[in-house]
Amino acid sequence: MLLSSSDKNLAEGKVLILYILKKIGKPVTNDELLKVVSVLTDMNYFYFQQFLLDLMDNKYVVYNENGMVYSLTKEGEETLSLTSDLIPGIHKLRIDSNLKDNINQVEEEVSITSDFIPINENEYNVKCKIVENNVTMFEITTYAGSREHAKQIADNWKENAQEIYPQILNLLTDN
């Protein structure tokens, strides 16, 4: 079966999103993915959202509501391996060449940090923070009774802030 021109464009758009998600290699928020896709391709917001919904309906992309992030599924990776030839080589080259810079720019816009500061030899304050466009969106400081515990909290925040932050926010706003 041959694809019509419009069908080919629709398929190419979906495969481009799969390709970019694969290249990113980690879960990303809708805003992060949209920024990267719109910079690297000529896809507009409405097509992007429609393609993403179609990919989710087909179970190629999964949305984690707790972390509010999208990631590629095993089915999505298999589909990408079968359909990646739909992406013109020039698009792949542009994505491959510019993806790292664009990811770094997006990550700078949303920065997740954590530090632990010694109070004395066995006590630490751990500061966890989310900064977006140089504005502190969330900050929390907690106590740790050992260096190991402080490091564990700091590392856990850096790895899981996208899941922890919405949970804290829900707890703070529940009646």
Query: What is the 3-state composition of the chain as percent helix, strand, coil, each rounded to the nearest 5?
Result: 60, 25, 15
pLDDT band per the 50, 70, 90 thresholds, residue 151: very high
Does residue 116 carry a pLDDT above 80? yes
Query: In this structure, are residues 22 and 77 in contact, taking their beta carbons and an 8 Å threshold?
Result: yes
CATH number of 5-108: 1.10.10.10
Does residue 16 carry a pLDDT above 90? yes
Phi, psi of 137 (to 5 degrees): -90, -30
Residue carrying the six token digits 């599924």:
73
Does residue 2 carry a pLDDT above 80? no
Give me the mean pLDDT over the 73-102 stretch.
87
Residue carrying the six token digits 């919405």:
166
Does residue 123 carry a pLDDT above 70? yes
d(CA 66, CA 165) in angstroms, rounded, equals: 9
- The number of beta carbons lying within 10 Å of the beta carbon of residue 38 is 14
Tell me which residue of 113, 110, 94, 108 sits closest to 23, measured CA to CA: 94
Q: What is the pLDDT of residues 128-140, one digit of tens each?
A: 988 776 678 889 9
* Beta-strand pair 69-72/110-120: unpaired
**More confident site: 158 or 74:** 74
d(CA 32, CA 85) in angstroms, rounded, equals: 25
CA torsion angle for 116, 125, 110, 30 (degrees, to 10)? Answer: 110
Does residue 44 carry a pLDDT above 70? yes
Give the pLDDT score at 42.
82
Query: In this structure, are residues 104 and 26 in contact, taking their beta carbons and an 8 Å threshold?
Result: no
Give the pLDDT score at 103.
75
Tell me which residue of 38, 47, 34, 26 sits closest to 161, measured CA to CA: 26
Domain boundaries, the chain: 5-108, 110-173
Q: Which of 29-38, 51-60, 156-165 has the lowest mean pLDDT?
A: 29-38
**More confident site: 37 or 107:** 37
pTM of the model: 0.59
